[in-house]
């Protein structure tokens, strides 16, 4: 087993055996979406109009609030320092952790998004676009989140500072993510939005592991 | 930190030592302050007494003389922070850390000022204090980035270690800002087919340009003066922390 | 030179090395030269900078002044050192064996097999146990086992005997002896006395301000 797949494998194994925090993130996602009708009323037309935005806000918040799990546990038990001595570049280690984090934190959201689509009276066409836009956009959220988690890993009281840092940077993901589902009353630009979203995800996936690795090693120095 | 006693050191290396930087730049402070004051005096005089009213907006257009320079400064200060971040990461220049830290709250203030004046200026046109147009929205996101960085500095216990980590984040922000602008512009064309207000209109007679340029320089020098002063303060603050730590160590081994 | 030599002869050298953290210099002007098959013990009071020196040698912390060099190393080989710090990096909910297999995969399975390494450190009987149940001493043994599954010439040990009983202490000495026999180098920061088979291959470096 290569070092890279061993890293991903271990993260997945621990997520499965630790169960709890992933379930919590998933519940948070569904609850945020489900709570909106209590706030704006159950009018189907209104909900259908807002649905893409609500689903994406729920995904956005879930990914941001869950990003602490990327590095904090490893930092606290000393694994992170040891991983710097591993037989592969540290940015590859970080990339493996980001991939594992996406598999563990984002894929459940993508799978659960139909539930929200139904609750928020989304039509069938929007349904598949939602799943697709989440699949294409959540890697960017995971990658940006990794940078936020890396920058704040040595701050003891962590808390909300990492989500607060990353939220402005992730605004384009939110804009194009929602745009990839529906672009409102004008001409349909959801295809263009999906392409922009894919471009951002690719760029983030390529650059963020390096920046996160740099942030972690700078923080020890 | 040791003071190097080698005789022929380049100026750049000499000012890398914090107290030498302070000593070298202290004489600049008063001239800069005076220059800033003079520029503001001229700029404001031109703005209020020597430039025409806008045919549509009346006297409120004069807010432009504050809004446009502060909006430009909000970007310029981030550029300064980005250059400082590179200096910190690539060359490990100690004054780069100090420059980066001092610039953040200043950038946040100018950005907030730009939003505030933009909001005041827009009120007569929009009827409300806020419209989600592309430019104001991008500026709002930029304000959140600045405030996040200020919060980040305060969250770290060890400021020296914090500097390089925050430098990495600043660079990530710098790469993101063009993307944010692009996406916000795209978003605003979706939801508002016609752009609502353009602060730099198509016709710019000379009598508007002169005060505008003077105010640009006035605000830029205001930033430079405040930044320099803030850097001095930060150097002194670090000196105090170092002395306190030394006292603690001396007390422990006594 | 015994025929158990595994590592090519390396030399760890430091010249004018000054280490510190957070802008404070902790140890100044260190000079030493450690040859293959020898052990350097760092002694000094708490807070004197032993941990910082180990981290600096490990490449985690940048030296404030001076230089470190590991001579005789081929550029293309992977990492040449094992760092064993205060924390054991053990994951609960994974078994003892799974923990070790992970490190063998990530660092390269060039040493003992994970099961053999566990036997060597005395944890063979509980290989399948959830690592969250390990005592402090058992956890330390698992951390030491990590050094055995991947062969690297330089060992940097920070308080290796912490939380270990007398037998565990002897285990550490035996492991260091074996490693030195193979031509490896050991730098260990410790308060405890370390007695090796051949006391002439131990050097002591005192860290911290002379009182």
Q: Give the model confidence (pLDDT) of C7-30 as tens digits.
A: 888 889 888 888 888 777 888 888
Q: Read off the pLDDT of each residue in B205-213 and give the average, rounded to a whole number.
A: 73
Report helix angle B134-155 to B159-191, nearest 10.
160
- If you measure CA to CA, which chain B residue comes closest to A216? B165
Render pLDDT for C140-190 as a digit per residue (tens, 0 to 9).
999 999 999 999 999 999 999 989 999 999 999 999 999 999 999 999 998
The shortest C-alpha distance from B241 to chain C (Å) reads 10
| 8-state DSSP, B62 | G
Please say whether the beta carbons of A153 and A219 come within 8 A.
yes
In this predicted model, what pLDDT tens digit does every residue of B46-58 receive, in sequence order?
777 766 665 555 6
Of C122, C156, C116, give the one whose Cα is nearest residue C139: C122
Q: Is residue B11 part of a domain?
A: no
Residues of A in contact with C62 (CB under 8 A): 221
Tell me the residue range of the domain where B86 lies: 62-196+207-244
B3-40 exposure pattern, b = at least 16 Cβ within 10 A, e = fewer: eeeeeeeeeeeebbbbebbbeebeeeeeebbebbeebb
Residues in chain A where the model's pLDDT stays below 70: 221
* pLDDT for residue B75 is more than 60: yes
The beta-carbon neighbor of C22 closest among B161, B252, B253 is B161
Does the pLDDT at position C83 exceed 70? yes
ipTM: 0.92
| Residue where the block lists tokens 């003066």 | B225
Residue numbers in C near B238 (CB within 8 A): 23
What 8-state DSSP symbol labels residue C129?
Answer: S
pLDDT band at B24 (very low <50, low <70, confident <90, very high): confident
* Residue-level pLDDT at B203: 46
3-class secondary structure, A221: coil
Q: What is the pLDDT of residue B193?
A: 53
C29 touches chain B (CB under 8 A): no
CA distance to partner chain A, nearest, from residue B11 (Å): 27
pLDDT of residue B251: 76
Mean residue pLDDT across chain B: 83
C108: left (phi over 0), alpha (psi -120 to 50) or beta: left
**pLDDT for position A219:** 87
**Both tokens of residue B240?**
């105090």
Asked if B88 contacts B97 with a C-beta cutoff of 8 angstroms, the reply is yes
Distances from the Cα of A162 to the Cαs of A104, C67, C140, in angstroms?
A: 19, 36, 33
What is the predicted pLDDT for the residue at C148?
A: 95
Q: At B71, is the pLDDT very low, low, confident or very high (cuts 50, 70, 90)? A: very high
Round to whole Å and give the CA distance between B94 and B99. Answer: 9
Average pLDDT score over residue span C69-82? 85
User: Which pLDDT score, from 0 to 100, does residue B3 have?
Assistant: 44
Contacts of A79 in chain C (CB under 8 A): 89, 91
- State how far residue B75 is from chain C, nearest Cα, in angstroms: 32
Can you give the C-alpha Rg of chain B in angstroms? 22
Band (pLDDT 50/70/90 cuts) for residue C210 is very low
- CB contact set of C46 (below 8 Å; sequence gap of 6+): none
Contacts of A10 in chain C (CB under 8 A): 91, 94, 98, 102
Distance CA B30, CA B35 (A): 8
Number of domains in chain B: 1
Answer whether residue B8 shows pLDDT above 60. Answer: no
Instruction: Sort A124 into a burial class: Cβ within 10 Å, 0-12 / 13-18 / 19+.
Output: exposed
B243, closest residue in chain C (CA to CA) = C24
Give the per-residue pLDDT at B123.
81
Indicate whether B201 pLDDT > 70.
no
- Which residue would you say has higher pLDDT here, A44 or B5? A44
Q: Give the per-residue pLDDT at B4.
A: 40
Please tell me if residue B250 touches chain C, with a CB cutoff of 8 Å: no
Tell whether B188 is covered by a domain.
yes
* Residue B13 maps to a domain: no
- What are the tokens at A199? 């471009």
> Which of A52, A147, A151, A160 should one mutate to test binding to chain B, selecting the residue with the greatest count of B CBs within 10 A?
A151
Q: How far is B18 from chain C (nearest CA, A)?
A: 13
Residue B252 belongs to a domain: no
pLDDT value for B194: 47
Beta bridge partners of C202: C39
């Amino acid at each position: 087993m290569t070092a890279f797949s061993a890293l991903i494998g271990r993260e997945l194994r621990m997520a499965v055996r630790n169960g709890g925090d992933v379930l919590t993130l998933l519940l948070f996602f569904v609850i945020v979406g489900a709570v909106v009708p209590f706030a704006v009323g159950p009018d189907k037309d209104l909900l259908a109009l807002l649905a893409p935005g609500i689903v994406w806000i729920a995904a956005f918040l879930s990914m941001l609030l869950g990003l602490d799990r990327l590095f904090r546990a490893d930092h606290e038990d000393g694994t992170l320092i040891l991983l710097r001595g591993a037989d592969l570049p540290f940015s590859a280690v970080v990339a493996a952790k980001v991939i594992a984090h996406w598999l563990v934190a984002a894929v459940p959201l993508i799978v659960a998004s139909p539930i929200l689509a139904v609750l928020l009276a989304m039509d069938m066409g929007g349904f598949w676009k939602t799943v697709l836009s989440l699949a294409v956009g959540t890697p960017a959220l995971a990658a940006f989140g990794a940078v936020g988690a890396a920058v704040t890993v040595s701050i003891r009281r962590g808390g909300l500072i990492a989500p607060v840092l990353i939220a402005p940077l992730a605004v384009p993901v939110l804009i194009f993510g929602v745009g990839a589902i529906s672009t409102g009353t004008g001409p349909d630009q959801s295809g263009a939005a999906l392409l922009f979203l894919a471009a951002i995800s690719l760029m983030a996936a390529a650059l963020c592991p390096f920046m996160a690795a740099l942030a972690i090693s700078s923080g020890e120095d | 930190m040791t003071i190097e006693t080698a005789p022929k050191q380049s100026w750049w290396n000499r000012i890398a030592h914090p107290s030498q930087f302070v000593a070298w730049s202290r004489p600049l402070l008063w001239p800069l302050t005076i220059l800033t004051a003079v520029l503001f005096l001229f700029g404001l005089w031109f703005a209020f007494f020597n430039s025409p009213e806008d045919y549509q907006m009346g006297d409120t257009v004069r807010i432009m003389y504050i809004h446009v320079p502060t909006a430009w400064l909000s970007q310029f200060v981030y550029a300064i922070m980005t250059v400082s971040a590179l200096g910190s990461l690539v060359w490990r220049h100690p004054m780069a850390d100090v420059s980066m830290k001092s610039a953040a709250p200043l950038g946040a203030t100018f950005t907030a000022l730009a939003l505030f004046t933009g909001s005041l200026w827009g009120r007569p046109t929009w009827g409300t204090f806020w419209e989600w147009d592309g430019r104001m929205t991008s500026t709002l996101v930029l304000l959140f980035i600045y405030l996040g960085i200020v919060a980040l500095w305060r969250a770290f216990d060890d400021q020296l270690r914090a500097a390089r980590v925050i430098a990495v984040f600043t660079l990530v922000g710098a790469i993101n800002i063009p993307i944010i602008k692009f996406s916000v512009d795209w978003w605003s064309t979706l939801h508002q087919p016609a752009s609502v207000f353009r602060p730099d209109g198509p016709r710019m007679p000379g009598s508007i340009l002169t005060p505008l340029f003077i105010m640009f320089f006035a605000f830029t020098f205001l930033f430079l003066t405040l930044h320099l002063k803030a850097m001095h303060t930060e150097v002194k603050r670090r000196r105090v922390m170092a002395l306190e730590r030394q006292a603690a160590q001396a007390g422990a081994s006594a | 030179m015994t025929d158990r030599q595994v590592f090519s002869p390396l030399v760890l050298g430091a010249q004018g090395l000054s280490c510190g953290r957070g802008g404070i210099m902790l140890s100044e002007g260190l000079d030493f030269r450690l040859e293959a098959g020898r052990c350097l013990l760092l002694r000094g009071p708490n807070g004197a900078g032993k941990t910082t020196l180990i981290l600096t040698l490990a490449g985690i912390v940048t030296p404030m002044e001076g230089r470190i060099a590991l001579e005789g190393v081929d550029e293309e080989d992977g990492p040449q050192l094992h760092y064993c710090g205060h924390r054991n990096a053990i994951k609960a909910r994974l078994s003892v064996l799974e923990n070790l297999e992970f490190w063998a995969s990530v660092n390269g399975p060039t040493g003992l097999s994970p099961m053999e390494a566990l036997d060597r450190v005395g944890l063979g009987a509980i290989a399948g146990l959830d690592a969250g149940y390990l005592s402090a001493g058992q956890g330390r043994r698992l951390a030491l086992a990590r050094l055995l599954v991947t062969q690297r010439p330089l060992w940097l040990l920070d308080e290796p005997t912490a939380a270990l009983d007398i037998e565990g202490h002897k285990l550490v000495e035996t492991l260091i002896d074996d490693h030195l026999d193979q031509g490896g180098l050991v730098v260990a920061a410790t308060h405890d006395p370390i007695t090796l088979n051949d006391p002439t291959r131990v050097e002591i470096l005192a860290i911290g301000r002379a009182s």
